Amino acid sequence: MERPNIPIPHEPSSPYPIYDQSSIILGYGRGAGELGIPTANIPIKSEISHLPTGIYLGYAKLSPIPGEPASTKSRATKYGHREDITFNHGNKLRAEDLEILPVVMSLGWNPFFHNEEKAAEIHIIHKFKDTFYGAEVKFVILGFIRPELDYVSKEALIKDINKDIEIAKGVLATEPYAKFKKELEDFVPYDPTLAQSDDNQCLIPQNQTTSDVCQYIREQCNVSYFKWSEFYYCSSTKYPSWLLLSILSLLILLALTLILISLSILVSNYLFRNLNEFTFTLGLNNQILSFILVPLTNSFPDLINYYVALQSGSSDLVIGQLVGSILIMFTIIIGLISIFSRQFKVEQPNLLTIDLIWVLLVLGSFSIILSDGQITLVESIVMVTIYVVYIIFLTLFDKEKLQDFDEELIIHHQNHEHVLEQPYNIEDAMSILTTEDRPLITRSKSHTSSTNSMRLKTPTPPNSRRSSPLRHVISASVEDEESQLVPTEQDYLTVDYSCRRERSAEDSVTSQTSKHFSITNIFEFIFNSIDFVLLFIIPIHHCCDEEDVWHIKSHLIHTSYFKYWYMIQVPLLLNWEFFQIDLAYVIPGILFIEIPLVILCLKYVNETVRSIVVTSIGIGISLLTVTYCSIFILELLKNLGLIWKISDYLLGLLVFSISNSINDLITNLTLATRINPILGINSCLGTPLLIILLGIGINGIYVVTKTKQSITFTLSHNAIISTVWF
């Protein structure tokens, strides 16, 4: 077979670098004995098992194993016959043998020798005095030289191996590759007990036909995980590939968008509401809700998405999505706000300047962190610390001005006025768009303030990623007769969120007259459908009837029989996730033990205990649901990347960021055009603070602490160019 001429990039690109560590094991003994090119066999572990067969280049470092005997004999087949092999565990290696050295690795079946097992062999480009069976070797794979070939003679094989060695020496001598010697020195392998599964990794061999790729996916990849890719490559012979590619890509993008919108509704209507009920029942200070719980719930989908991706080793995907989202936020969304809002006056320019300074500080710091291609534990701690400092700054610096552009939500909870800021999602934006003609709100111009600002009660961060729901409102009182002559303005900033309020006849008439067909009605129907489905998954203690445009949600919550659904559904869900007990035992246990026990307890526990139990379960189920949605998002993205054959970074930059920004685009643009442009801009400015400082900072601390190594990503040209746009 003719040797293909495959160009090697001038610097490593995804999926490289790939790090691994293992012990030198017994091989066939052909390298030194028959070919004159000694090789060291290593076990094929998860880090390299998904790679296509062929020849690779990189670096390796040998290490002796202290405490092991200097000479241990093992009987094995070598040079075609049985003999004793000495395991010295690297204890006879010299100082120069322990340096980081260039290597060529062969991964495959060695068709010339007709191997029956797949093998991984590394040839360290160095002259050794002795063998080193049993020694530890850590190595990094930086590139692909060529696929595995068959040969007509041993001489042709040796000639090709020597050519591979020369190519590797030349490439590894260049600066973009040579710098990984230092990276390998600092590399600490994963703890085997913490190692992640490689089920979400699948690298298609280069220069393969569609049928070959189909066979490779079925044999080398997790077909259940890459079912979309398997369907595409294994069906493209029946359909035009471009048509199938377009259809599958569209379906995946629609699924991504729907899941991300569902997460926004879930966080706002279920996770936050249960958190609010829980903190209120426990009597926690409202400052905790405003400064901690609200920002965390606002960014919670991103936190979980980043956690799932980083845990699976897809750091390039996270960095790409983060950079893409910020670029979209600062270009498209703010640009559209400026276009559709036309002329508007910034009433507090100093406040906006302060926000912008914080954003520039965070973006500058993050660019420096990304510059070395890794995120360390110290850098993650610094990001979280900056966010804490930012929150402290908001509580101490010029509170009166900070209050002017905040939002609040007055919730009448069991006859107590409770002030908080609630996440504002795409469902709320659609509600504003579909009810903009309803005369529900008026605002009188104040004579005491030239800024016409509403004085709010709770100092909360003005840069929350999403603001409060704005569909439940009350009319501001008219201050005097003169103010009645002034045209009223809509003010959505102060809202009355009253549970179980009866709809008035006027509201009903207004609702009927506004029921005209429009695209916003369609979207609102979709969002209400999602909300309705989530009700059957996540328990909530109280339901607000006025939010329930269909009246089905509130009717179910107030139906005494609906609680039995949760008594059955919640144990089944928890068993499926944590215990996996046979349903033959679980279902009778639920029907004859759990339900009677719960009914009995309900007779003796007060409302406070019920609230704590229900909201705790609701919070737990919400977190579990968000986690599974994030896992499915990663699966969809991985399949889309495999179908299009693009790197994780470009996948995050071009696909994940766009899908994830649809919610921000609609909500922030609605805030700006229907309420106040400065609210939309403030929300855009707050996004980087949350997704960088919390999304990367918190997950960085957890992942680095768990794996004992820094988060690494490929610092490619795409990453550098897109980061410069910061």
* Stronger pLDDT, 346 or 50, i.e. the higher one: 50
Q: In what order do the strands lie in the sheet with 416-420?
A: 416-420, 408-413, 494-498
pLDDT of the residue at 124: 95
Q: Is 121 a catalytic residue?
A: yes
Across 369-383, 405-419, 424-438, the highest mean pLDDT is recorded for 369-383
Instruction: Map residue 56 onto helix, strand or coil.
Output: strand
* Stronger pLDDT, 254 or 510, i.e. the higher one: 254
Asked whether 424 and 298 are in contact (CB, 8 A), the reply is no
Neighbour count for residue 436 (Cβ, 10 Å) = 13
- Residue 306 phi/psi, 5-degree rounding, is -65, -40
Burial (CB < 10 A; 0-12, 13-18, 19+), residue 504, is exposed
pLDDT digits (tens, 9 = 90+) for 266-306: 877 888 788 778 877 887 655 455 445 555 555 677 778 88
Catalytic residue among 11, 34, 68, 121: 121
pLDDT digits (tens, 9 = 90+) for 682-709: 777 777 788 888 888 888 998 888 888 8
Instruction: Map residue 546 onto helix, strand or coil.
Output: helix
CA distance 490 to 613: 40
The letter for the amino acid at 169 is K
Region of poorest pLDDT, from 138-152, 442-456, 590-604, 685-699? 442-456
The letter for the amino acid at 112 is F
Mean pLDDT, residues 100-106 taken together: 95
Q: Which residues contact 24 (CB under 8 A, 6 or more apart)?
A: 40, 41, 42, 90, 132, 133, 134, 135, 136, 137
pLDDT category at 454 given cuts 50, 70, 90 is very low
Closest by Cα among 224, 221, 190 to 311:
190
Helix extents (H) in 575-656: 583-589, 595-602, 607-644, 648-651
- Residue 588 phi/psi, 5-degree rounding, is -60, -35
pLDDT of the residue at 549: 53
Both structure tokens of 707: 């794996």
Would you say residue 611 has pLDDT above 60? yes
Bridging pattern class, strands 416-420 and 374-375: unpaired
pLDDT of the residue at 139: 93
Neighbour count for residue 23 (Cβ, 10 Å) = 17
Q: Which residues contact 154 (CB under 8 A, 6 or more apart)?
A: 34, 35, 112
Would you say residue 318 has pLDDT above 70? yes
The pTM (predicted TM-score) of the whole model is 0.58
CA distance 225 to 635: 7
pLDDT of the residue at 236: 63
pLDDT of the residue at 142: 95
Mean pLDDT, residues 415-438 taken together: 51
pLDDT of the residue at 433: 57
* Stronger pLDDT, 225 or 412, i.e. the higher one: 225
pLDDT digits (tens, 9 = 90+) for 214-233: 877 887 788 888 999 888 88
pLDDT digits (tens, 9 = 90+) for 230-249: 888 888 665 557 888 899 99
CA distance 714 to 720: 10
Mean pLDDT, residues 128-145 taken together: 91
DSSP count for the chain of H helices, then E strands: 31, 13
* Stronger pLDDT, 150 or 163, i.e. the higher one: 163
* Stronger pLDDT, 455 or 418, i.e. the higher one: 418
pLDDT category at 379 given cuts 50, 70, 90 is very high
pLDDT of the residue at 3: 85
CA distance 679 to 347: 12
Would you say residue 370 has pLDDT above 70? yes
pLDDT of the residue at 272: 77
* DSSP output for 268-329: IIIIHHHHHHHHHHTT--HHHIIIIIHHHHHTHHHHHHHHHHHHTT-HHHHHHHHHHHHHHI
pLDDT category at 507 given cuts 50, 70, 90 is very low
- Considering Cα of 240, then 241, then 244, then 246, what sign does the dihedral take? negative
* Stronger pLDDT, 171 or 678, i.e. the higher one: 171
% of the chain surpassing 90 pLDDT: 18
Both structure tokens of 286: 């409202």
Kindly provide the residue ranges of all beta strands, DSSP E only, lying in 114-159, ordered along the sequence: 119-124, 136-147
pLDDT of the residue at 161: 93
Give per-residue burial for 391-427: e unless 16+ CB within 10 Å, then b.
eeebeeeeeeebbbbbbbbbbebeeeebebbbbbbbb
Considering the chain, what is the average pLDDT of its residues?
Answer: 74
Would you say residue 344 has pLDDT above 60? yes
Fold held by 18-189:
Elongation Factor Tu (Ef-tu); domain 3 (2.40.30)
Asked whether 627 and 303 are in contact (CB, 8 A), the reply is no
pLDDT of the residue at 406: 44
Mean pLDDT, residues 628-636 taken together: 88
CA distance 176 to 172: 8
pLDDT digits (tens, 9 = 90+) for 35-93: 889 999 998 876 787 888 999 999 999 998 876 655 555 544 444 444 567 778 888 88
Bridging pattern class, strands 40-42 and 18-23: unpaired
Would you say residue 122 has pLDDT above 80? yes
pLDDT digits (tens, 9 = 90+) for 656-673: 888 777 777 777 777 677
% of the chain surpassing 70 pLDDT: 69
CA distance 695 to 509: 45
Asked whether 658 and 320 are in contact (CB, 8 A), the reply is no
Asked whether 458 and 290 are in contact (CB, 8 A), the reply is yes
What is the total residue count of the chain? 726
Both structure tokens of 124: 């360290």
